[in-house]
């Protein structure tokens, strides 16, 4: 094996549990609360099973499984691994595609690449984020040029740009494979221009939608899960490449190293050598450089280059890239995608133009945000020194800490707004009680000053005496309520306390 590739597609999903007219996602988020859109239940599992997915709980069946499991802190394991059968309320769920045919075929600028498809998996998180992982091995193509093309072209989700009249030829020349077939799911990119004319405008490739199945939809279909990319038009690339000559002369191969780390298929996207050097320095992890092993991390890649020998393939670094570092990438991607999702949710609630039920919506979102922060946002995932260093570098490059601090401010402001609304509502209710108490003050006042026998003993025995007593109380009550702007006659008529001053406005 010359190289290992794992293409990871993060997306958000929202269940369409009711009829929704239109195709405005933002309006949908405004109308339906978080818990009613992020629904992971037995029906969801059944739908995935009908699409060829199988729920898999984590089991230690090999030394690689053991090494991966003990690598992480216990609180990370609780959120990352399914140790039980499927149950509603878990933080994450792991599914694998059944009966794959081991074929991953690409045609890039006339050249065909046949990779060995080893696994297709799906991670579902309770933040409404899913990550599709497509894992493959390259046993035929040795050159760096081929590895760069495989990484850059196979990761595409939809066209990055289009020419006039939706022409896709220039895009295909630069970024898109002519054809991509993963397992039995095929996308012919030469026909992509016709598909992007349909709604929604940004369309996920059929090779991805075919894998996921009809549980997910790009349009609003009742009882389906609306799906959309949450990062950009590219999948995240997790890759190991073994090449002795390349890694042994790495100091003289700045252009090639930059292309490999930053997934530039052919042309360099940085033409300034000093800037290129600085970006490489920021992204490169060099602990094992003297062993001819280097790691690189960007916002859309986690890669490794090393010598080609049995140790690198069986001990370090390839097994780490396939297990521990893959799981680390899952955590990083989920955290980043969840931050973007919650920020979008805050924007939607902020745009609601009525205070009706908005406090409940904010409370619901805040509850889910706290769960995310406690269950998926980790400052450290492993006690291993190398893992700590890599995770810290990745968090810095992906700006996770700064973004989550910004999100915390947004959520806090929204929560404070909910508190103000609740306080205003409580004050309104207290004012009603105060006004109600004002109506009964005169009778209480008279009884308190003169006692219950203020009227002659036999005065209340006849209707004239009774009416005289109530008339006296009513006159005093009317004077008091009028001075307090309370409409007493309205209260007597319909039982509602109304402020005469407010009515006149």
Q: How many whole angstroms separate alpha carbon 120 and alpha carbon 133?
A: 6
The CA-atom distances, in angstroms, between 13 and each of 37, 79, 103 are 8, 19, 28
Query: Which residues, in sequence order, are bridge partners of residue 169?
Result: none
DSSP string, 221-262: -TTSEEEEESS-SB-EEEEEEE-HHHHHTGGG-HHHHHHHHT
- Render pLDDT for 114-131 as a digit per residue (tens, 0 to 9): 999 999 999 999 999 999
Q: Cβ distance 473 to 446 under 8 Å?
A: yes
User: CB-side exposure of 137: number of CA atoms within 13 Å?
Assistant: 12
Mean pLDDT of the chain: 87
Residue 439: CB atoms within 10 A of its CB come to 18
Higher model confidence: residue 138 or residue 160?
138
Q: How many whole angstroms separate alpha carbon 216 and alpha carbon 205?
A: 13
Residue 109, pLDDT > 80, answer yes
Pairing mode, strands 225-229 and 3-15:
antiparallel
Higher model confidence: residue 465 or residue 391?
391
- Under DSSP, the state recorded for 266 is S
> Which residues, in sequence order, are CB contacts of 6 under 8 Å at separation 6+?
133, 134, 135, 136, 237, 238, 239, 322, 326
> Which residues, in sequence order, are CB contacts of 424 under 8 Å at separation 6+?
none
Residue 272, pLDDT > 70, answer yes
Residue 346, pLDDT > 60, answer yes
Q: Please tell me the predicted confidence (pLDDT) of residue 248.
A: 94
Residue 22, pLDDT > 90, answer no
Q: Please tell me the predicted confidence (pLDDT) of residue 231.
A: 84
Band of residue 481 on the pLDDT scale cut at 50, 70, 90: low
- Render pLDDT for 32-89 as a digit per residue (tens, 0 to 9): 999 999 999 999 999 999 999 999 999 999 999 999 999 999 999 999 999 999 999 9
Q: Please tell me the predicted confidence (pLDDT) of residue 457.
A: 54
Q: Strand, helix or coil at 291?
A: helix
Over residues 363-381, the mean pLDDT reads: 95
Q: Computed over its alpha carbons, how large is the radius of gyration of the chain?
A: 32
Band of residue 359 on the pLDDT scale cut at 50, 70, 90: confident
Q: How many whole angstroms separate alpha carbon 231 and alpha carbon 203?
A: 14
Of all residues in the chain, the percent with pLDDT exceeding 90 is 65
Q: Please tell me the predicted confidence (pLDDT) of residue 435.
A: 57
Q: How many whole angstroms separate alpha carbon 351 and alpha carbon 337?
A: 22
Q: How many whole angstroms separate alpha carbon 57 and alpha carbon 73?
A: 19
Low-confidence winner among 232-246, 353-367, 479-493 (lowest mean pLDDT): 479-493
Domains of the chain, residue spans:
3-417, 440-503
Q: Please tell me the predicted confidence (pLDDT) of residue 358.
A: 84
Sign of the four-CA dihedral 83, 85, 86, 89: negative
Residue 373, pLDDT > 60, answer yes
Band of residue 422 on the pLDDT scale cut at 50, 70, 90: low
Higher model confidence: residue 235 or residue 359?
235
Q: Please tell me the predicted confidence (pLDDT) of residue 23.
A: 76
Band of residue 383 on the pLDDT scale cut at 50, 70, 90: very high
Band of residue 440 on the pLDDT scale cut at 50, 70, 90: low
Band of residue 505 on the pLDDT scale cut at 50, 70, 90: very low
Residue 483, pLDDT > 80, answer no
Q: Please tell me the predicted confidence (pLDDT) of residue 460.
A: 47
Residue 503, pLDDT > 50, answer no
Q: How many whole angstroms separate alpha carbon 223 and alpha carbon 203?
A: 20
Q: Please tell me the predicted confidence (pLDDT) of residue 357.
A: 76
Report the range out of 180-184, 357-361, 423-427 with the highest average pLDDT.
Answer: 180-184
| Entry pTM | 0.85
Q: Cβ distance 376 to 334 under 8 Å?
A: yes
- Render pLDDT for 315-340 as a digit per residue (tens, 0 to 9): 889 999 999 999 999 999 999 999 99
Residue 201, pLDDT > 50, answer yes
Higher model confidence: residue 231 or residue 461?
231
């Amino acid at each position: 094996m010359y190289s290992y590739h794992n293409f990871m597609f993060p997306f958000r999903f929202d269940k369409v549990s009711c009829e929704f007219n239109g195709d405005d996602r933002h309006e949908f988020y405004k109308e339906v609360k978080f818990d009613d859109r992020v629904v992971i239940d037995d029906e969801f599992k059944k739908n995935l099973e009908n699409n060829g997915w199988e729920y898999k709980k984590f089991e230690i069946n090999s030394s690689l499984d053991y090494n991966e499991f003990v690598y992480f802190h216990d609180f990370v394991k609780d959120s990352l691994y399914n140790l039980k059968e499927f149950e509603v309320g878990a933080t994450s769920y792991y599914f694998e595609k059944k009966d794959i045919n081991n074929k991953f075929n690409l045609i890039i600028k006339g050249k065909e690449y046949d990779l060995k498809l080893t696994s297709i998996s799906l991670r579902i998180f309770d933040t409404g984020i899913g990550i599709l992982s497509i894992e493959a091995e390259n046993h035929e193509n040795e050159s760096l040029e081929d590895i760069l093309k495989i990484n850059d072209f196979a990761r595409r989700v939809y066209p990055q740009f289009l020419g006039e009249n939706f022409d896709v030829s220039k895009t295909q020349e630069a970024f898109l494979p002519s054809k991509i077939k993963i397992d039995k799911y095929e996308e012919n990119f030469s026909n992509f221009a016709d598909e992007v004319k349909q709604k929604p405008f940004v369309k996920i490739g059929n090779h991805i939608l075919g894998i996921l199945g009809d549980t997910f939809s790009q349009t609003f279909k009742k009882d389906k899960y609306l799906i959309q990319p949450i990062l950009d038009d590219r999948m995240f690339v997790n890759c190991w490449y073994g090449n002795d000559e390349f890694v042994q002369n790495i100091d003289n191969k700045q252009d090639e190293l930059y292309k490999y780390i930053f997934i530039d298929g052919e042309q360099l996207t940085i033409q300034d050598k000093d800037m290129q050097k600085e970006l490489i320095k920021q992204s490169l992890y060099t602990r094992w450089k003297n062993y001819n092993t280097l790691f690189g991390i960007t916002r859309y890649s986690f890669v490794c280059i090393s010598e080609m020998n049995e140790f690198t393939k069986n001990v370090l670094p390839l097994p780490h890239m396939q297990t521990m570092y893959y799981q680390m990438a899952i955590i990083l991607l989920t955290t980043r995608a969840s931050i973007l999702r919650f920020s979008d949710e805050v924007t939607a609630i902020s745009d609601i133009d009525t205070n009706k039920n908005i406090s409940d919506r904010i409370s619901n979102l805040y509850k889910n945000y706290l769960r995310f922060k406690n269950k998926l946002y980790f400052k450290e995932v492993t006690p291993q020194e190398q893992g700590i260093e890599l995770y810290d570098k990745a968090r810095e490059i992906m700006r996770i800490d700064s973004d989550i601090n910004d999100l915390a401010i947004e959520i806090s402001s929204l929560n404070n707004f909910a508190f103000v609304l609740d306080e205003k509502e409580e004050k309104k209710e207290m004012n009603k009680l105060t006004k109600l108490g004002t109506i009964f003050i005169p009778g209480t006042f008279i009884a308190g000053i003169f006692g219950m026998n203020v009227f002659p003993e036999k005065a209340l025995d006849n209707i004239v005496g009774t009416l005289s007593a109530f008339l006296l109380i009513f006159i005093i009550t009317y004077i008091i309520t009028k001075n307090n702007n309370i409409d007493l006659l309205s209260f007597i008529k319909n039982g509602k306390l109304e402020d005469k001053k407010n009515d006149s406005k």
